[in-house]
Amino acid sequence: MKSEKIRIEEATAKLFLNLYNARFSTNFVVDYLGDTPDVVCIDRANNNVLNLEISLIEDLPGDVKYVLGRGSKPTSPTTGTTAVSFTDDVVEQLRKSLEKKLLSSYGANTALVLRQVSPLWEPREWSTVADEFKVKVFAGSENNFGAGVWIICTDNSIRPASDTLFCLSSPVE
């Protein structure tokens, strides 16, 4: 039986690949689940390999536990309530998570896939911080995830709302 962590990574990989394949006209499928990287994918048409390192984005520490029914909704240190500030809470959580992930170089064929726990933030919000992250967070580490850094988020500008990809750091050419 697969662990909960493995099931989440596999489901996230499949969701990512559906979006990624549609965007780039590729045919990647999950080849096997590992540890580092979390998921190895292959495009059977040309045998290209795409490795995925997967992480969940929490608005606040403890959000994953809350979503999984294992804890109470976290309180924002910014608002003092369960309401969350995108710039003060979410962006800082993402910055901390990325800084840890960027300590290691995963190479040219690896993408970092970040899946939101909250459906609130969409490409419009992420685009407001992308340039700052490129300068302050990714500086000197752009190649650590050569296949890019991607956020799976909800696009609420269309009806019905649907999952979409936001590219936080472009793949290295």
Helices (H), 25-107: 63-67, 91-101
The set of residues, in sequence order, having a beta carbon less than 8 Å from that of 43 and lying 6+ positions away, is: 26, 27, 28, 29, 49, 50
Percentage above 90 pLDDT, the chain: 68
> 167 falls in which pLDDT band (50, 70, 90)?
very high
Give residue-wise pLDDT tens across range 65-99. Answer: 998 889 999 999 999 999 999 999 999 999 999 99
The torsion region of residue 80 among left (phi > 0), alpha (psi -120 to 50) and beta comes to left
DSSP string, 147-169: T-EEEEEEETTSSS-EEEEEEEE
Q: Which range of residues forms the domain containing residue 139? A: 4-169
Q: Residue for token digits 């050419």?
A: 173
**Tokens found for residue 16:** 């990512």
Residue 135 near residue 170 (C-beta atoms within 8 A): no
pLDDT above 80: residue 1 = no
Residue 38 near residue 56 (C-beta atoms within 8 A): no
For the chain, the average pLDDT equals 92
Domain count, the chain: 1
pLDDT above 90: residue 46 = yes
